[in-house]
Amino acid sequence: MPELSLSLLIQFIANGFVVGMYYTLLALGLSIIFGLIGVINLAHGALYALGAYAAYVFSRHLGFFPALVLSPLIVAVLAMAIEVTMLRRLYLKDPLLSLLLTFGLAMVVEQLLRMIFGAAGLPFDIPQRLQGFVRFGMLPYSRYRLFLLIVGILVIALLWWFLERTPYGRIIRAGTRDPEMVRILGIRLAPVFTAVFGIGAAMAGLAGVISAPLAGVEPAMGTAVGTAAFVVVVIGGMGSFWGPVIAGLLVGEIVSLFVLLYPPAADASMFLLMALVLLLRPRGLLGERWEKFE
Amino acid sequence: MTMIRLLAHPVLVFAYILALLPAVVHAIGQTVSLATEIVTFILTAMGFNLLLGYTGLVSFGHGAYFGLPAYVAALMQVRLGAGIVPAMLSGALAAVVLGTVIGYLVLRRRGVYFALLTLAFSQMFFAIVFRWTAVTGGENGLGGLQRPPVRIGDLTIPLSNQLVYYAIVAALTVLAVAFLWRLVESPFGRVLQAIRENELRARYLGYDTGQYKLIAFILSALLTGVAGVLYAFLIYFVYPQLVHVTMSGEIVAMAVVGGMRAFFGPALGATFFVLLRQILSGYTEHWLVVFGALFVFVVLFSPEGFAGVISRILPARPRPPIRRPLWEPTSSPDRTDPDPLVTPGEPVLVAKGLVKRFGALAAVDNVDLTVVRGRLHAIIGPNGAGKTTLFNLLTGLFPPDAGSIFLNGKEITGLPPERITRLGVSRSFQIVSIFQELTVFENVRIATQARSRHRLSVLARADDLLDVNAECARIIHLVGLAGKEDKVASSLPHADQRLLEIGIALATRPTVLLLDEPLAGLPPEERQRIAELIKKLSREVTIVLIDHDIDHVMALSDVITVMHQGRVIAEGTPDEIQRNKEVQQAYLGEIRVDGRTPPPRVEREPWVVVEGIHAFYGKAHVLHGVSLTLSRGEVACLLGRNGAGKTTTLRSIMGIVPPRSGRVVFGGREITGWPPEDIARLGIGLVPEGRRIFPNLTVEENLRIAWRNGRGRWDLEKIYRHFPKLAEIRHRRGEFLSGGERQMLAIARALMGNPSLLLLDEPFEGLAPMVVSDIVRIIQEIRGDVTMLLVEQNATLALGLADYAYIIGTGVIQYAGLPGELLARHDLLARLLGVTMSTGRGQ
């Protein structure tokens, strides 16, 4: 076990948050999609992968920062197109069908990526300006990881502000509890559904972009992270905003801890955490009791 | 069965096809091992479909039950040197253990959580298998499996021979399929399908559905596990991808593409999948894209999969008639069922001090109830009285917050529905809750079967349980559905569905039968039919009845309990209740000396026209041609008893329940069938039943979300001036508001939309007198500018406010005229709205 100095400890905790950040971004997207539309988006991991691949393409031609903005947008546009042309048809039918659809789409996307870009991982370097270390007094910390933390926190804050302080966010929140009443108030919900699907997708795409320099870009990246996102949502509990946030960071820390202490169990550790949480709090940490989940 | 029929049995046909498969495969230039692979995946997919297609449970983690048993078998042979047969058997055992443990954990959750948990567990096992290199070989997998010859007596079976191995695999699969076929036809299998259709109903028939689901889960895991083991020994290799979620996904895809609702659907899907992979992978390594795209296509356009397509092309095979016993109605079909425990006249169901709260609201508030054997007991009361909640408590849907319930002297408080049903309390539901896709006979049989000792049997033939079938036939005849046994439930007209609902409840042989609004949504002739049935049944079983049709309730019952706002306010014989002043008041509302009668409007120019609308909830025909008009600026009220169609009328105007025929015209524009959001934008607002404020938004947010620009110039400031109480609590979340506060907010919210037509559904319900006068004041202020249609329970209050009055009953308008006239004729009011019978008796 490496020597624990304060500097190392802080770095370690921060790294845990970094890992947790992608989980949180994905889990939040999943949570609002399910909350409003009622669809479990099994294609979420694929959207994450798409974001990373789009970033790969864009950054080669335009640079990292343009890619950072464009990739989530592209992913969102694609997702919204899917919602309008395919997912929408299934809202009034058996919920199993929309589940199967997103699952099938995930399969198709992953295979398409494999087909177009090859099965091997693609190189994606940390952009020049974000390389190296930043010093906090005596503490050095990876500049890129710091950047990632800042972007993540900004996005979460932005989403919170959007949901809690804007009229559109109000509509989304109201729609998660009583969509029919929202319509009775004269608000068309179909565009709101599309927008929310797009927002969730954009967050997944963004997570893909920012994780690319650290985790690499390869076709199977969506599946592992996608499942982790679901585990985070289950642990955090559905129906709350802060649940997935706390759970994401928690899972990030736990996984990092295992990577440090006992790497072989790192992947499985989040499932152990999930099992533990569910035994003690069946609805997750901050989950709400709504009929639609049960 | 004749010899020909026997030889053409689907399972045997399947066996013939499997026998020919190697030849077919050879003909297209492939080896026998491809055929073996196809068969193992057929077994996998069909095992999986027991859960998906038959029980309705989606498992995204079946890869675990395919791959892990394979690993166990491999480990047994490679690491521990076991023989091939013990190794295979250990794999099968591992599948059972896995299915039991995981199934138990995962089935405790429902819906979304269940599906996600199966996914998560599968990934967890993958992670373990991938990482535990020392044991499992890690990402390289474990090779070196062998198929040594197996000796049985004098016979040596050369398993390494591909054709021999194929024969073994095929034989095992045929056996498994035969077992599955039998299972599907068995009582157990029928219950699985009932669970898929309507799990709550199945519990209410006395089935412990958790038990059934777990057994199905274990069986499914076992079949898939056996397939995994056989596959491992086919390729002599196990590797982590067998456990991965991708594998799980492929299994799901096979079942869905092939057709999850057809018995052999998944077999088709599996065959297609393996063949496609083999053929396409010669051309491209991306054959999975094609399969994935096909999967997406099937989900979007043809959810019944290949099997569904095939069944549409082939001529329809007539369903084999169910073998029914030769049962003839005897001369005395009514059978007395003497219960040795309780003699007639004694209390059979007793509730004491029942309380049930939902948040701050007490839906049932200290209620005592004594149901006496042999006496037909009715429970009536105005809206929100707590009647259905009381039924829910008595049948165990949720436990009471306080109080106790006794059946035949034994306490049943807090027991789950399935146990209470088995102990002898049965119920029908307000909204018909039957198994829509099963036939009438199957519906009743599932119910009758719940008491049979064969109910968990996987091998018996459900059709062969003669005693069960005989009882079914008797009940079908009793409720009057004879001759319709083979009709699918969803095709029945509403009245027959109600009869079926009663039949199902009766089939559990209850001591007490609770009927929740059995006459709702029916025209008069059908009501009569059902009322007669109820009378007939009351000789056989003790009945407790909730209904709003006062005429029938008075005619049928021996005892009536009246509830109001969660409490019992009166109890007695029909005559006593009709004479009871307090009851009349509860129904009609208090006489309010307001002193403010509006000037009578002489001319009425219709600005809002509702013409002959018919509205349905599913099959229930609730509005039978309702017509009314509103003049611009007037306040009209719509009165009527519960179940009459008041709320439905408002919802039809608002577009929430689009009328099936008739018209709604608003200011010259026809809005029939428009979606609610478009109707709202025209300037129509609704204060809905149940208030429906958003619990997760604050008071102020609830108001802001509703704001629309309009003539009335209502905005946040104006609202706060008129409703100072709301200003005080502006930052409180909706879920923390009291009933009265919610009501106020609902009205304020509707005003924020600046409507020119305001529909109000019982706006005064549950409000304190002071608040009532606040609301009345506001109504007086805005009348003239805002046209209003007011649905109210409190008749006298509404009549005091309105310019024009309508009374609706059994889906049609029964009275239209000036409120003053109606107020003067109290006897007419009592007849139309109160507890007096329409025929004039007891006036």
Q: Determine contact: B817 vs chain A, CB below 8 A.
A: no
Which of A183, A223, A272 lies closest to B245 in CB terms?
A: A223
B292: nearest CB among A107, A182, A238: A107
- Kindly state the average pLDDT of the residues B364-372: 92
Nearest to B245 among A184, A227, A233 (CB): A227
Residue B65 corresponds to which amino acid?
Y
pLDDT in tens, B593-612: 444 455 555 567 788 999 99
Contact at CB, A274 and B120, closer than 8 angstroms = yes
Q: Is A135 within the bounds of a domain?
A: yes
| Helix locations, A63-142, DSSP H | 64-85, 95-117
Residue in B closest to A34 by C-alpha: B112
Is the Cβ of B758 closer than 8 Å to some Cβ of chain A? no
Residue-range definition of the domain harbouring residue A114:
3-280
Q: How far apart are CA B53 and CA B503, in angstroms?
A: 27
- Please give the pLDDT value at position B82: 86
Instruction: Return d(Cα B571, Cα B580) in angstroms, integer.
Output: 10
Cα separation, B812 vs B377, whole angstroms:
28
Number of Cβ within 10 Å of residue B486's Cβ equals: 13
Residues 6+ apart with CB under 8 A from A51: A71, A72, A75, A204, A205, A206, A207, A208, A209
Residues A20-40: b if buried by 16+ CB within 10 A, e if exposed: bbbbbbbbbbbbbbbbbbbbb
CA of A269: which chain B residue's CA is closest? Answer: B124
Q: Is the pLDDT of residue B841 over 50?
A: no
What sign has the CA pseudo-torsion B337, B338, B341, B343?
A: positive
The pair of structure tokens assigned to B647 is 């709320």
Q: Check residue B61 and report its DSSP letter.
A: -
The count of CB pairs under 8 A between chains A and B is 157
SS (H, E, C) B617-656: ECCEEEEEEEEEEEECCCEEEEECCCCCCHHHHHHHHHCC
Chain A residue whose CA is closest to B650: A184
- Interface touch A181/B303, C-beta < 8 Å: no
Domain assignment present for residue A7? The answer is yes
H helices present in chain A, as ranges: 6-37, 44-62, 64-85, 95-117, 143-165, 167-177, 179-184, 190-215, 221-236, 242-261, 266-280
* Cβ-Cβ contacts under 8 Å for B340 (sequence gap 6 or more): none
Note whether residue A173 is domain-resident: yes
Which amino acid does the sequence have at A105? L
Q: Residue B526 and residue B534: Cα distance in Å, rounded?
A: 12
Contact yes or no for A187 and B677 at CB 8 A? yes
Q: Could you tell me the sign of the dihedral formed by the alpha carbons of A35, A36, A39, A40, in that order?
A: negative
* Residues B503 and B478: beta-carbon distance below 8 Å: yes
Question: Which of B58, B286, B677 lies nearest to residue A186, judging by beta carbons?
Answer: B677
- Chain segment B427-480, per-residue pLDDT in tens: 999 888 999 888 999 899 989 888 877 777 777 777 777 788 888 889 999 998
Interface touch B131/A265, C-beta < 8 Å = yes
Rounded Cα gap, residues A160 and A13, in angstroms: 24
Which helix (H) or strand (E) element contains residue B238? Answer: strand B237-238
Rounded mean pLDDT of chain A? 88
Of B343 and B269, the one with more pLDDT = B269
A180 with B696: Cβ contact below 8 A = no
- Asked if A264 has any chain B CB less than 8 Å from its own CB, the reply is yes
**pLDDT, tens digit, for every residue of B791-823?**
988 888 888 889 999 999 888 899 998 888 888
**How much is the average pLDDT of B47-68?**
92
Mapping DSSP onto H, E and C, the string for B590-624 reads CCCCCCCCCCCCCCCCEEEEEEEEEEEECCEEEEE
Distance from CA of A137 to the nearest CA of B (A): 39
Tell me, what's the pLDDT at B838? 55
- CA B462: distance to chain centroid? 24
Which residues of chain B does A181 touch, with a Cβ-Cβ cutoff of 8 Å? 688, 692, 694
* Distance in Å, alpha carbon of B498 to nearest chain A alpha carbon: 25
Q: How many CB atoms lie within 10 A of CB B525?
A: 8
- Cβ distance B680 to A186 less than 8 Å, yes or no, reads yes
Per residue in B277-329, pLDDT tens?
888 877 777 777 888 888 898 888 888 888 888 877 776 555 555 555 444 44
Judged by CB atoms closer than 8 Å, whether chains meet at A170 and B654 is answered as: no
Residue A194 belongs to some domain of the structure: yes
Residue B359, both tokens: 């948040």
Helix axes B84-106, B111-131, angle to 10 degrees: 140
Across the interface, whether the CB atoms of A178 and B289 are under 8 A apart is answered no
Report the gap between the CA of B234 and the closest CA in chain A (Å).
26
Q: Which of B87, B228, B67, B89 is nearest to B145 (CA)?
A: B87
Among candidates B593, B641, B639, which has minimal Cα distance to B819?
B639
Residue ranges of B 204-263 with Cβ closer than 8 A to chain A: 244-246, 249, 252-253, 256
Q: DSSP 3-state assignment of B641?
A: coil
In the chain, the amino acid numbered A227 is: T
Return the CATH number at A92.
Answer: 1.10.3470
The answer, for A187 touching chain B at a CB cutoff of 8 Å, is: yes
Interface test with B, best of A42, A84, A103 (most B CBs within 10 A): A103
Is there a contact between B58 and A233 if contact means CB atoms under 8 Å apart?
no
DSSP label of B242? G
Two tokens at A115?
């087909």
The verdict on A276 touching B (C-beta cutoff 8 Å) is: no
CA distance, residue B191 to nearest chain A CA (Å): 21
Q: Using the beta-carbon criterion (under 8 Å), do B109 and A278 form an inter-chain contact?
A: yes
Beta strands in B142-232 (DSSP E): 142-143, 150-152, 155-157
Sort B504 into a burial class: Cβ within 10 Å, 0-12 / 13-18 / 19+. Answer: buried
Q: Say yes or no for a CB contact (<8 Å) between B127 and A184.
A: no
How many domains is chain A built from?
Answer: 1
> What is the phi/psi pair of residue B233, to 5°?
-75, -10
Mean pLDDT of chain B: 86
Nearest CB neighbour to A183, from listed B256, B299, B676: B676
Interface touch A108/B296, C-beta < 8 Å: yes
> In sequence order, what are the beta bridge partners of B790?
B637, B760
Is A17 in contact with A250 (CB distance < 8 Å)? no
Answer whether B425's CB lies under 8 Å from B541's CB: no
Cα B180 from Cα B458, distance rounded (Å):
9
Phi and psi at residue B188, in whole multiples of 5°? -60, -50
Decide if A44 is inside a domain.
Answer: yes
Strands (E), A166-266: none
Long-range contacts of B821-829 (CB under 8 A, 24+ apart): B823/B796, B823/B799, B829/B588, B829/B795
**Which residues share a beta bridge with B787?**
B757
Does residue B122 carry a pLDDT above 50? yes
Which of B375, B418, B409, B413 is CA-nearest to residue B558?
B375
For B821, residues 6+ apart whose C-beta sits below 8 A from its C-beta are none
The per-residue b/e assignment along B617-646, b for 16 or more CB within 10 angstroms, e otherwise, is: beebbbbbebebbbbbbbbbbbbbbbbbbb
Q: Do the Cβ atoms of B296 and A189 come within 8 Å?
A: no
Question: Which residues in B lie closer than 8 A to residue A272 (C-beta atoms)?
Answer: 124
Average pLDDT over residues B552-566: 91
pLDDT, position B93 = 96
- In this prediction, residue B68 has a pLDDT band, given cuts at 50, 70 and 90, of very high
Contacts of B253 in chain A (CB under 8 A): 104, 107
Query: Could you report the per-residue pLDDT of B658-671, keeping only the tens digit for each?
Result: 999 999 999 889 99
Residues 103-122 of B with CB under 8 A from A: 105, 108-113, 115-117, 119-121
CA angle B665, B671, B673 (to 5 degrees): 130
**Minimal CA–CA distance to B663: which of B631, B691, B688, B626?**
B626
What's the pLDDT at B840? 39
- The answer to whether residue A275 sits within a structural domain is yes
pLDDT computed for residue B524 by the predictor:
82
Confidence of residue B768 (pLDDT cuts 50, 70, 90): confident
Chain-chain contact of A34 with B115 (C-beta, under 8 angstroms): no
Contacts of B110 in chain A (CB under 8 A): 294
Q: Are strands B559-564 and B684-687 parallel, antiparallel or unpaired?
A: unpaired
**B584: part of which helix (H) or strand (E)?**
helix B581-588
A192 CB within 8 Å of a chain B CB: no
Domain presence at residue A294: no
Q: Is A188 on the interface with B (CB under 8 A)?
A: yes
User: Which tens digit of pLDDT belongs to each residue from B236-282?
Assistant: 999 999 998 889 988 998 998 899 888 999 999 999 999 988 888 77
Are residues A185 and B680, on separate chains, in Cβ contact within 8 Å?
yes
**End-to-end Cα separation, chain A, in angstroms:** 44
- For chain B, what percent of residues have pLDDT higher than 70? 92
Identify all chain B residues contacting A178, using CB atoms and an 8 Å cutoff: 692, 694
Position A96 in a domain:
yes
